[in-house]
Amino acid sequence: MDAPIDPRRKVIREEEIVDYPAVQPVYQQPVVPVQPAPAVDSQRSYSQVGDARVESTSQGYYDAAGNLVQREDQVFDDPYTRRYNGLDRTAQIIYFVLGVLEILLALRFLFRLLSADTSNGFANFIFNFTSPFVVPFNGIFNDQALSRTGVFEFSTLLAMAIYALIAYGIVKLLYVLLAPNRSTEEVHSSTRRRQF
């Protein structure tokens, strides 16, 4: 039985076999993106509801294979929401600062109540840092001594309540003064262009 013939070899005579050279790979040229054909149908519409604006663009064109391709884009812009986001971020920063101050004042109250050692670095830092915030409220109420060293500081509790009310008032005032008003004006516009 004869062996199968290799397609790269050609039989000249039964005794003599000649090899063809190996086939070199063909390198492909880089693929160039196909530019879309000019638009055959283009439509642009513009809407405004109050301060919010919506711009819509619709375009139809034929691709290289002859298929009709339609593309739509919408851009939505609402300055009302943008300004409200800025106010919300400002309120978050104010409440964050208030939260840090309230935690430090609560630690001061707790350390004074439990007579923490003032020679300790952390306790000393808390007392020194919060002292300017408590000083305006000293003397309104008498701080009660619970033991030889423990003190129930009414001035710290009063400072915590007053600073919380001040922060809340500042945030509400910002919303009253800087909150945008929504307009009731509505504008709708549409343009269509067809190429033949």
Rounded Cα distance, 14 and 3, in Å = 12
pLDDT score recorded for residue 11: 47
Same domain flag for 67 and 102: no
pLDDT score recorded for residue 62: 75
The answer to whether residue 7 sits within a structural domain is no
The answer to whether residue 4 sits within a structural domain is no
Rounded Cα distance, 151 and 187, in Å = 67
Question: The whole model's pTM is what?
Answer: 0.58
Same domain flag for 36 and 105: no
Same domain flag for 107 and 124: yes
Same domain flag for 96 and 160: yes
The answer to whether residue 64 sits within a structural domain is yes
pLDDT tens-digit series, residues 125-155: 999 999 999 999 888 887 777 667 778 888 9
Same domain flag for 189 and 151: no
Contact 140, 45 (CB under 8 A): no
Same domain flag for 68 and 145: no
Same domain flag for 40 and 65: yes
The answer to whether residue 8 sits within a structural domain is no
Same domain flag for 95 and 135: yes
The answer to whether residue 6 sits within a structural domain is no
Same domain flag for 121 and 41: no
Q: Are strands 39-49 and 52-62 parallel, antiparallel or unpaired?
A: antiparallel
pLDDT score recorded for residue 85: 86
Rounded Cα distance, 17 and 159, in Å = 105
Same domain flag for 89 and 131: yes
The whole domain housing 43 covers 16-74+185-194
Same domain flag for 99 and 48: no
Provide the domain count of the chain. 2
Rounded Cα distance, 111 and 4, in Å = 97
Q: How far apart, in Å, are the Cα atoms of 97 and each of 64, 94, 102, 163?
A: 61, 5, 9, 11
Same domain flag for 162 and 107: yes
Low-confidence ranges of the chain (pLDDT < 50): 11-13, 15-16, 18, 36-37, 196
The answer to whether residue 135 sits within a structural domain is yes
Rounded Cα distance, 64 and 41, in Å = 16
C-alpha closest to that of 150 among 122, 110, 91, 104: 110
The answer to whether residue 9 sits within a structural domain is no
pLDDT score recorded for residue 196: 47
Q: Residue 144 belongs to what H/E stretch?
A: strand 144-145
Contact 190, 44 (CB under 8 A): yes
Which amino acid, 29?
Q
The answer to whether residue 165 sits within a structural domain is yes
